[in-house]
Amino acid sequence: MVEAKREGTPFSGKTFVVTGMLKRYPRNEAEQLIRKFGGYVTSSVSKKADFLVLGEEPGSKYDKAKELGVRIIEEGEFEKMIAKAK
């Protein structure tokens, strides 16, 4: 089993919402990676969320994130964060 890296990553202490379909990762795998690198995952968008990971066909979570000023990142930026965390 791989030990979780909790500190010093772009994910450390940050709250993420994943929405839509990601091309490279099933949603549960993306959420596992976020947790592995010290982040938190929630299913709803609120002011407490730091990032919305945006996939295809995002639905209302995208609109809510824009409304609340949550930072929206696409899959490519998410992958760069994963690379930095490794």
> What would the pLDDT profile of 47-81 be if each residue is shown by its tens digit?
999 999 999 999 999 999 999 999 999 999 999 99
Complete domains list, the chain, with CATH: 15-85 (3.40.50.10190)
- Listed in sequence order, the residues at least 6 apart from 43 whose beta carbon sits closer than 8 Å to its beta carbon are 17
Does the pLDDT value for residue 44 go beyond 80?
A: yes
As a whole number of angstroms, the distance between CA 12 and CA 25 comes to 20
Output the average pLDDT for the chain. 93
pTM of the full structure: 0.91
Does the pLDDT value for residue 4 go beyond 70?
A: no
As a whole number of angstroms, the distance between CA 64 and CA 53 comes to 13
What's the CA angle centered on 70, arms 67 and 72, to 5 degrees? 105
